[in-house]
Amino acid sequence: MMLGAASTISLVKSNDENLGHFSSPAVSPVARSSKAVTGGQNRLVVAEVSKSTNHRPTSGVVFEPFEEVKELMLVPTGPQESLARHKFMDETEAAINEQINVEYNVSYVYHSLYAYFDRDNVALKGLAKFFKDSSQEEREHAERFMDYQNMRGGKVKLQSIVMPLTEFDNPEKGDALHGK
């Protein structure tokens, strides 16, 4: 968004006969002067606007609107760059991808526990339901992170999922019911 406005505005109080450098043709003023009567004296207030960046008025600069928003006007120029990726660092993208992988791995472990507790020889249906719901919840977390990654212009990189344990009855480690 480019506006056709001046880059600097300066205000100077001066007498009528002392315009000095304000009559320079290089400046191209918009508002030359306005007279104000204060305390019985005629005073001349001169306001000039300069469009060129090479010429800076010698008086105090009151307002520079485009200097304050210069950082916001940076727009990606390449076709592969996303506007949503503005201030989205690569480290953040990598951390979100890592968290997506963690969420899927935990979901996979919970799903394995659901399958174990749902067996007919184990038959702990309450625990099976709990782990099935927990598995679904972890997948939803991963999907939310994926949606955020895509919304910010990042790329989702799924990694391999580690195979969880499927057998939890170990005669060497014993049974929790017989532990001391």
State the pLDDT at residue 58. 57
Core vs surface per residue 85-119: b (16+ CB within 10 A) or e: eeebeeeebeebbeebbebbbbbbbbbbbbbbbbe
**Confidence band of 50 (pLDDT split at 50, 70, 90):** low
What's the average model confidence in pLDDT over 123-151? 96
Question: Does 98 count as an annotated binding residue?
Answer: no
Question: Does 141 count as an annotated binding residue?
Answer: yes
Q: What is the pLDDT of residues 62-115, one digit of tens each?
A: 677 777 777 666 666 666 677 777 788 999 999 999 999 999 999 999 999 999
What's the average model confidence in pLDDT over 25-50? 52
Question: Does 55 count as an annotated binding residue?
Answer: no
Q: What is the pLDDT of residues 2-21, one digit of tens each?
A: 445 544 555 555 454 444 44
Domains in the chain: boundaries? 8-72, 84-178
The CATH code for residues 84-178 is 1.20.1260.10
